[in-house]
Amino acid sequence: MIDVRLLRTDLDATKAALARKGVEGSEVDRAAELDRSVRDGQSTVDRLRREVKDLSSRVGRARREGLPEEAEALSQTSRQTGAELEGLEKQLAEAAGELQDLLLRIPNLPAPDAPDGLSDADNVIVRTVGERTYGEHQRVPHWDIGAALGILDLEAGARISGSMFPMLRGVGASLARALCQFALDRNADAFEEIRPPTLVRSATLQASGQLPKFADEAYQIERDDLWAIPTAEVPLTSIRAGQVIEEAELPVRYMAYTPCFRREAGSAGRDTRGLLRVHEFDKVEILSLCTRAQAADMHAELLARASGSIAALGLPYRIVDICTGDLGQSHARCFDIEVYAPGCDLWLEVSSVSWFSDYQARRAAIRYRPVAGGGNVVADTLNGSALAVPRVWAALVETYRQPDGSVELPEVLAPYLRAGRVICPPS
């Protein structure tokens, strides 16, 4: 969440920054009003508590000194003050609860250098890498290629779990696993591998900014108050929740392979064929905790690592600078990596590399102790998809399809494929 002190010291600038994300000023004004009410109310409550305590002492003293009438008068005043205190404490709790809810829903401030815009139509293409010259044999969508090669079985997945739950078979399944191991190996030089739980508590989802806003997009197990993670970002962010880290430890780097689960509740009207939009998929995530001074370099590193893996696979890609109107709830700055899929004739987002400033870490209470001394500081968080399987899988089988209908996968994946890198049609 944003630092509540911004509402006290820089309200106009905060409203102006959030307006770049389309946030109405009335929401911020209401939060500032509630913050004032809570602080004023707390001062009054503290004063009344002191009065009640003092009255109790005076009642006891009057009784010890044999002054029953004075003691009774003081007791009555104490009861009246106590009733007033109880009412104010209830009002204070309600105001504090409303303020907390608002702060959880107000988005992060966009970075000053994030491009302005209203929607994804205003995103800025930073650069495009790779040639896009294709034969007719590559202009076949992956769902047709997968069915012909027996490596993608959408019908069986739908029978088992419903639509948008694809099933990969044979070399198709091996390719998905190979991509994950490939991504883990490429980042193992600097990132600690984690295998986190894929079911997490509500507080864990809230810490990364998924709750309360995106509850409809997540799968919940209500009986146990657990949620299936939409991304490994969620548990990785909370590894150091509630902790104070020594600045010398920063930046902290984690990576994780996990399955990811998303309802895709807002996918109506979008292309959901094949692997373009699915409810369950595998992904390798890279994440860092760092200081504000380290954040820019770390953002560049994560972007270079994610795009480097796509380049190593020989896929044309482009880097897109996400405009303020398209930035997510928690994001201060974000770059997407999109690959071109010739069979679909679409640019497919395969990675978002994001800087969250201190928005997530404030929710998760992740702080660090500065080497120079002074008070603890809220850390910055960043993450990116090192490799998300479905759309990369789709782009690979379309790009590397041969005239005879086979798929010859790039050499870099050979060590990870038991059956070799050529996928032939069934005989």
What are 19-43's pLDDT values in tens digits? 999 999 999 999 999 999 999 999 9
From 317, 272, 280, 274, select the one nearest 145 (Cα to Cα). Answer: 274
- Is residue 375 helix, strand or coil? coil
pLDDT band at 204 (very low <50, low <70, confident <90, very high): very high
CATH for 120-423, options being 3.30.930.10, 3.90.400.10, 1.10.260.40, 3.40.50.970: 3.30.930.10
Query: Would you state the pLDDT for residue 426?
Result: 87
Q: Report strand pairing: 280-290 vs 252-261.
A: antiparallel
**Residue 36 annotated as catalytic:** no
* Residue 166 confidence (pLDDT) above 70: yes
What average pLDDT does the segment 366-377 reach?
A: 97
**Residue 349 annotated as catalytic:** yes
Candidates 51, 70, 84, 349; catalytic one? 349
Percent of the chain at pLDDT above 70? 99
Please give the CATH number for the structural domain made up of 5-105: 1.10.287.40
Q: Is the peptide bond before 68 cis (omega within 30 degrees of 0)?
A: no
What average pLDDT does the segment 126-132 reach?
A: 94
What average pLDDT does the segment 84-106 reach?
A: 95
**Residue 391 annotated as catalytic:** yes
Mean pLDDT of all residues in the chain?
96
pLDDT band at 268 (very low <50, low <70, confident <90, very high): low
Query: Would you state the pLDDT for residue 427?
Result: 77
Residues 6+ apart with CB under 8 A from 143: 152, 154, 273, 274, 275
Over residues 133-151, the pLDDT tens digits come to 999 999 999 999 999 999 9
Candidates 391, 398, 401, 421; catalytic one? 391
Candidates 20, 262, 333, 401; catalytic one? 262
Candidates 238, 330, 352, 385; catalytic one? 352
What average pLDDT does the segment 157-166 reach?
A: 97
pLDDT band at 272 (very low <50, low <70, confident <90, very high): confident
**Residue 362 annotated as catalytic:** no
The answer to whether domain 5-105 and domain 120-423 are alike in fold is no
Candidates 30, 63, 177, 277; catalytic one? 277
Instruction: Kindly report the backbone phi and psi dihedral angles of residue 30, in degrees, each rounded to the nearest multiple of 5, phi listed first.
Output: -65, -40
Query: Would you state the pLDDT for residue 270?
Result: 73
Q: Domain residue spans in the chain?
A: 5-105, 120-423
* Residue 244 confidence (pLDDT) above 70: yes
**Residue 357 annotated as catalytic:** no
Query: Would you state the pLDDT for residue 269?
Result: 67
Over residues 342-360, the pLDDT tens digits come to 999 999 999 999 999 999 9
